[in-house]
Amino acid sequence: MAMKEILWLISLLFLVLVVKIGAKAPAIIVFGDSSVDAGNNNYIPTIARSNFEPYGRDFNGGFPTGRFSNGRIATDFISEAFGLKRAIPAYLDPGYSIKDFATGVTFASAATGYDNTTADVLRVIPLWKQLDYYRDYQNKLKSYLGKGKAEDVISDSLYIISVGTNDFLENYYTLPGRSSQFTIKEYQNFLITIAGNFTKKLYDMGARKISLGGLPPMGCMPLERTSNFMGGSECLESYNNLASEFNGKLNNLVIQQNKDFKGMDMVFSNPYDTMLDIIRKPAAYGFEVTSVACCATGMFEMGYACSRANPFTCSDADKYVFWDSFHPTEKTNKIVADHVVKTSLAKFL
């Protein structure tokens, strides 16, 4: 037997053993936006990418994977905490196969949202298409493990959803379409309906353990603080209040669906309070800078504007809460992930 076949057999037997001994989560399966995209946008025609330096400079090997950070993102740390891989691969990355995806995969796409029109802004992958990819994944998993074992993995895996910020900042408050159709409260309810339909579809496809993620204090992102020059570049409290209000609606959705759907075990994972505490008391977490990001001037740059050639990029990202004007550093991601693992996700460990 060739060495390649031996290694494949060992990995298959290990996964089967994990399922048989009743592991809480044999895989982490991820949907969402740039907060959890590990590089899917590298393989679609969009400008919403980060597969270039200085992104990924603190990732293993200093490689820019397409994660919107200097290193790992929150779901990578969650996967490691669950005893799985250190980094969850992107489903569209041709460098990985179903053998890699069997214990963790992300279908997420930077710049997407609950609302399909949000995904249209930068031509990224909408949630309905992420579900299509997941359906394809299920078929591949059944071919790889066999139908029975694959169904065990599907039902026992932890599903993580992290999306919503772009619907407000990239869509509603930036473009005229949705803001002319809905008041902000109506738009929140519109998004909550979409979120509920999405989690119901996941449930119908076999998912049972689901983490529905909340919004961060988005008024404290450097991009929003920069735009608040009349307010002394402080956090935009109106955006923070909106995020907090929307999070309350998401939490209510979780409570209701757990009542409605037999066997569903969904939790609300809220990054808001932890992120806000970091921003308000940075020294307590070992940070020095909260108002601007590490990359470039730190005021407005992200994506291609966050260039390797920019001379203003900081030398030590660990001193900064934010990597670019929209996304946290690896250090911040780890703190938030650790908190979520110890709180909302603890029941699944």
Enzyme catalytic residues: 34, 324, 327
- CA torsion angle for 70, 74, 75, 78 (degrees, to 10)? 130
- Contact yes or no for 131/108 (Cβ under 8 A): no
Task: Check the CA dihedral 274-278-280-285 and report its sign.
Answer: positive
E-assigned strand segments in the chain: 28-32, 104-106, 158-162, 209-213, 265-269
Query: Locate tokens 């065990």: which residue?
Result: 152
Helix, strand, coil shares of the chain as percentages rounded to 5? Answer: 50, 10, 40
**CA 88, 164, 117: angle at the middle one, nearest 5?**
105
- In degrees rounded to 5, what are phi and psi of residue 150? -65, -40
- Contact yes or no for 168/223 (Cβ under 8 A): no
Dist. CA 169–CA 219, nearest whole Å: 10
CA-closest candidate to residue 167, choices 118, 214, 237: 118
Q: Regarding beta strands 158-162 and 265-269, do their DSSP bridges make them parallel or antiparallel, or are they unpaired?
A: unpaired
